[in-house]
A and B are shown apart, each in its own frame.
Chain A
Amino acid sequence: MQSDDDSPQADGQSLLRVAGARRTFLTPEGSAVRALDGVDLNIRPNEFLTLLGPSGCGKTTLLRAIAGFEDLDGGRLELEGRSLEDVPPHRRPFNTVFQSYALFPHLDARDNVGYGLDAARVPRAERERRVDEALALVGLSELGRRRPRQLSGGQQQRVALARALVNRPRLLLLDEPLSALDRGLRQAMQIELKNLQHTVGITFVVVTHDQEEALTMSDRIAVMRAGRILQLGPPGRIYDTPADRFVARFVGDSNVHAGRVAAVSARGALITLDEGFELHAEGTGFAPGEAVDAMLRPERLMLAREPGAGPALQAVVERVVFVGADVQVHLRLPGGAALRALHRHLPGAEPPPNVGGQAFIRYEPAAVHLMRSAP
């Protein structure tokens, strides 16, 4: 597994360490599913970490194991160097915002928020003060006496957040926190969650399958698949230099083509793609003859009527799709390869090419990202 950490010294400031975590489930049909297949992860103090992956990749299992709801079959969890093995969920200084929110329907918002303080036998006056603060923090001071049923989805989510944060956990675990909200509210909450994390200074670990959400909110993203972490790093790094074709396709829109390094020189590398075209890339660290996957982000391709000074590919325009601010252009290379390019639709700029016409795809070698070939 590749640990694409910010700095190797990061171990020094680890809050929670996950080492070699394994967990296997038995399906009702009797086959075994490896939900966690050897996960190593250092969660740092005061960071916003996102576990990103498709459903069934093990991200929720990892979150539940940290919270203490799942046993691990193997591996360790350490909070600042102390093992969590014998610590049941209610003794762990972590709190969770559940996907369903799991608000207690028989308690009003105030009592939901005060629940953890009651369990910890916090004195009455302090309890009231902290509940007030927490409700104010999420902007619900007025609605404390409402039952969960009387609150909207977004308000319920805020109560769930307040209920978790009021206990000042070392780690706040959020399981798909925004999935139940509609699109507009979701985008507003992404920003708000990020601001909130900054305000309270608590480490957030968020599980999501929404790459846009992950890119917007996170300090670091761990992309997971089939019980493993494929890549761990800040959003920019994940987006620009994905570790393999799976990450490239899961995060953002991308053109990924398999090929081989044909030649390497001081100025860069020449890649021959399996579909019969060539790409120029910058210096790579790959040796000639090595199998690679080449990725081109659509927004880094420029369409023109003539080839320019740099490298370019000649293609036929197959389809032009309007996607809001941009126009997505589907192109076909002579060898049969399909590429997508984003054409920025600015006033006074060149209009998008005509369907059926010829176009040149210009790119900079720096825009070509090479990855280990994956099956």
Chain B
Amino acid sequence: MSRRGAPLDWALGAWGIAFLAVLYLPIALVLAYSFNRNVVNMMVWEGFTLDWYRSIFGLATRLAEDASYVHSTEGLVHAARNSVVVALAATAVSTVVGTATALAMARHRFRLRPLYQALLVMPMVMPDIVLGVALLVFFVGAGMTLGLGTIVMGHCVFLASYVFVVVSARLAGMGADLEEASADLGAGPWTTFRRVTLPQVAPGVAGGALLAFIISMDDLVITYFIAGVESTTLPVFIYGMLRRGMKPEINAIAMLLLAFSFVIAATGLWLRARRR
């Protein structure tokens, strides 16, 4: 680097560190406050405690009863279970559907291809509130009861597009060579798929599935419109809590949720880095 570039490099470095700080400081604050013992004013630090975490899991605490919304952990556990059930089901369906589409789009050319591709991307890029209300109108109009089933269907609409994009990226680096080699060696289409295509796209499919799972667990807006009374998911549950006011155990819930998505995301990113 030339000497003239040095101050610029220094400024960029400072900017970059500040950028990372902006990204992580708010999260770090939530973490810190989740250990705050102060029951009366959650914003004033009084000392370290794990009681908020204990209260979430329904363990004995020394907290006053009224300090916490979570008198019983029932609602929270119920919402968490709903979230996981929805995410698992929606991930399973959308992974299969999105992978099939990625295979089709990567290996075949047809006239309406650009149009179809635009249609595939739409559920991802349009504002989620539009999809949410459209699905609400549709499900109610079709006389379907809002519940876990409708949430799964709604999630599949946009999750399949995410899987499609991730698997397509993997396929783009592959070329048709290996599949042609397999056919050339006498393997039929099914054998080729099982023994060549699948092992090749597997990391992409796994990555797509992880992403779909995280996004499904995270989705608030669409779920908010198409969840029934009995089928609250975790984000909707927390959203409801926050609208009623802030209580300290939200810190702990937020941290657990965060840890959960970070572990899954880190796994996905690590898997991807390892394949290179």
Residues of A bordering B, CB below 8 Å: 67-69, 88-91, 94-96, 98, 100, 102-106, 115-116, 119-120, 163-164, 167
Is A100 touching B185 in the complex (CB atoms < 8 A)? no
Is A120 touching B186 in the complex (CB atoms < 8 A)? yes
Query: Would you call the interface of chain B mostly helix, strand, loop, or mixed?
Result: helix
Is B177 touching A116 in the complex (CB atoms < 8 A)? no
Is A102 touching B186 in the complex (CB atoms < 8 A)? no
Q: State in angstroms the CA–CA spacing of A164 and B177 once bound together.
A: 14
Name the B residues within 8 Å of A163 (CB-CB).
185
Which of A95, A103, A120 has a CB less than 8 Å from the CB of B184?
A95
| A91 nearest CB across to chain B (Å) | 8
Q: State in angstroms the CA–CA spacing of A104 and B185 once bound together.
A: 12
With A104-B196, A106-B199, A106-B200: A116-B180 Cβ-Cβ less than 8 Å: no
With A100-B177, A104-B196: A67-B184 Cβ-Cβ less than 8 Å: yes
Instruction: Tell me the total A-B contact number using a CB cutoff of 8 A.
Output: 63
Name the B residues within 8 Å of A105 (CB-CB).
200
With A104-B196, A106-B200: A96-B187 Cβ-Cβ less than 8 Å: no
Residues of B bordering A, CB below 8 Å: 175, 177-178, 180-189, 191-192, 195-196, 199-200
Q: State in angstroms the CA–CA spacing of A106 and B186 once bound together.
A: 19
Is A119 touching B177 in the complex (CB atoms < 8 A)? no
Name the B residues within 8 Å of A98 (CB-CB).
177, 180-181
| B114 nearest CB across to chain A (Å) | 12
Which residue of A is nearest B109, CB measured? A26
Is A94 touching B184 in the complex (CB atoms < 8 A)? yes
Which of A95, A103, A119 has the most chain B CB atoms inside 10 A of its CB? A119
Which residue of A is nearest B176, CB measured? A69
| B94 nearest CB across to chain A (Å) | 25
With A102-B178, A104-B178: A96-B191 Cβ-Cβ less than 8 Å: no
Name the A residues within 8 Å of B182 (CB-CB).
90, 104, 115, 119
Is B184 touching A119 in the complex (CB atoms < 8 A)? no
Q: State in angstroms the CA–CA spacing of A284 and B200 once bound together.
A: 61
Question: Can you list 27 A-B pairs, Cβ within 8 angstroms, ordered by A?
Answer: A67-B180, A67-B184, A69-B183, A89-B184, A90-B184, A90-B186, A90-B187, A90-B192, A91-B186, A94-B184, A95-B184, A100-B175, A102-B177, A103-B181, A104-B196, A105-B200, A106-B199, A106-B200, A115-B182, A116-B185, A116-B187, A119-B185, A119-B186, A119-B187, A119-B191, A163-B185, A167-B185
| A172 nearest CB across to chain B (Å) | 11
Q: State in angstroms the CA–CA spacing of A315 and B125 once bound together.
A: 74
Which of B185, B191, B196 has a CB less than 8 Å from the CB of A95?
B185
**A-B contacts besides A116-B185, A120-B186, 13 pairs, CB < 8 Å:** A67-B180, A68-B183, A89-B184, A90-B183, A90-B186, A98-B181, A104-B178, A105-B200, A106-B199, A115-B182, A115-B185, A119-B187, A164-B184
